[in-house]
Structure 1
Amino acid sequence: MKTQIKALAIATSLLFSASVLAEIAIIVHPSNGDTITQDDISKLFLGKDKSFPGGAPAVPINQGGAIGDEFNEKALNKSSTQMKAYWSKLVFTGKGTPPKDAASDEEAKALVAGNPNLIGYIDASKVDGSVKVVLKL
């Protein structure tokens, strides 16, 4: 009986891990012709750059939850706790404003599809023709 419970626990954790480690698509408006690197993404989402490589204004859209945590780790090399501390310090000193938040992949996709100045991220399986993928993590 204990062996079956262990096997079930392992199978459940593997299934959960697979869903958390989904591929993340960095998305922009389809009209955006810029080539965007992971370094560009890091600078935009950390508030160090405020424009796309081509010079157009760039406004990052963030998400919370598992996808936000995974994005922080993969794109910014920071934990969610580190990101909260980072933005708290910048906001407190008046040196920055954190990215706007979207409540879901669908909201992030709709926002980016409707505004050429936005950049966001969603689960790669949710991408459709309304947005353009510039990088996958």
Structure 2
Amino acid sequence: MMKYLIILLSTLIVSLQASADMIVICHPDSEVEQLSRKQVIDLYMGRVQHFPNGNKASTLDLPSDSDQRAKFYKGLTGKSLSQINAYWARLIFAGRATPPQAVQSSQEVIDTIMKDTTAIGYIRKSELVDSVRVIAHVE
């Protein structure tokens, strides 16, 4: 019985971890096939505003109080959401960059991407739909 319980708990933990994985997505007609971790960091931290091929990139962000947003930035940069917010506050105050466009939900990320070939966003891997292209994974 104890062995069965341990196996069950292990399976549950692994499946919860897998569903927490975040993916970066874009429009299926985008010329972007894949982005490296560094390229995603550069885009989401305002260091670059264009994809590696030179096309404009429009980054989408979930609400500032979203658990998904916190997991995304922690997995991507290793920084907490408060550190990310402080980073952006400095850049905005200095007029050096514009933060990603905030949307209200993962569904809004998908909807916006379907209307805009320059948009990229992140969602949980479990929320993936066929109408978008995965270009990066964030664990």
Secondary structure of the structure 2 residue equivalent to 1:133: strand
Q: Partners of 2:77 and 2:102 in 1: how far apart?
A: 17
Q: How many residues align?
A: 123
**Aligned ranges for residues 1-137 of structure 1 at < 5 Å?**
18=16, 22-34=20-32, 35-64=34-63, 65-137=66-138
TM-score (norm 2): 0.81
Q: TM-score, normalised by structure 1?
A: 0.82
Cα distance, 1:76 vs structure 2: 2.1
Alignment check: 8 A CA contact 1:21 1:70 kept: no
Q: Is the 8 A contact 1:38 1:75 kept in 2?
A: yes
Residues 1:72 and 1:24: Cα distance change in structure 2 (over 3 Å):
same
Q: How far, CA to CA, are the matches of 2:39 and 2:87 in structure 1?
A: 18
User: 2:20 aligns to what SS in structure 1?
Assistant: coil
* Runs of 5+ unmatched residues, structure 2: 1-8
Partner Cα distance (2:39, 2:137) in 1:
13
Q: Give the secondary-structure state (helix, strand or coil) at the position aligned to 2:108.
A: helix
Unaligned stretches of 5+ residues in structure 1 = 1-10
Partners of 1:61 and 1:118 within 8 A in 2 = yes
Percent sequence identity over aligned pairs: 28
Deviations 1:25-62 (A, max 9, x none): 10011012323111100000000011011111001101
Return structure 1 stretches of 4+ with deviation > 4 angstroms: none
| Alpha-carbon RMSD | 1.9
Residue type of the partner of 2:44?
F
2:5 — aligned with what? Answer: none
* SS of alignment partner, residue 134 of structure 1: strand
Cα drift, residue 125 of structure 1: 1.2
